[in-house]
Amino acid sequence: MKIKIDNIKNSALLARLIFSDEEIVKLTTEMENILLFFDKINELDTSNVEPTAHVMNLTNVFREDVQKESFDRNQILSNASSHQGGCFSIAKVL
């Protein structure tokens, strides 16, 4: 499965990651090798197999609709790089 540089660039955009041109080349090779290795699973016939998203077969786990006190705003903002007037803030350009 040949992976194209365009695929890498597209994935990078989707993931909000940037790479230098050299890094892209290196990453393309690495990913190609890894994906070739991933391709192994195509040896298996799964035409009549259901996918398993959850291993433990739980269903209907709910909470009651009860309102509880929210966190203090200071705690919510405590790890923010910047905040203003009680809101998280991002300067437009820095």
Positions that interact with another protein (CB under 8 A): 3, 7-8, 10-19, 27, 30-31, 33-35, 37-44, 46, 49-56, 58-68, 70-71, 73, 75-82, 84-94
CB of 81 to another protein, least distance (A): 4
CB of 45 to another protein, least distance (A): 9
For the chain, first and last CA: distance in Å?
41
In the chain, the amino acid numbered 76 is I
| 25/38 with CB nearer another protein | 38
Q: Tokens in use for 54?
A: 């959850």
Question: Exposed, middle or buried: residue 19 (CB in 10 Å: 0-12, 13-18, 19+)?
Answer: middle
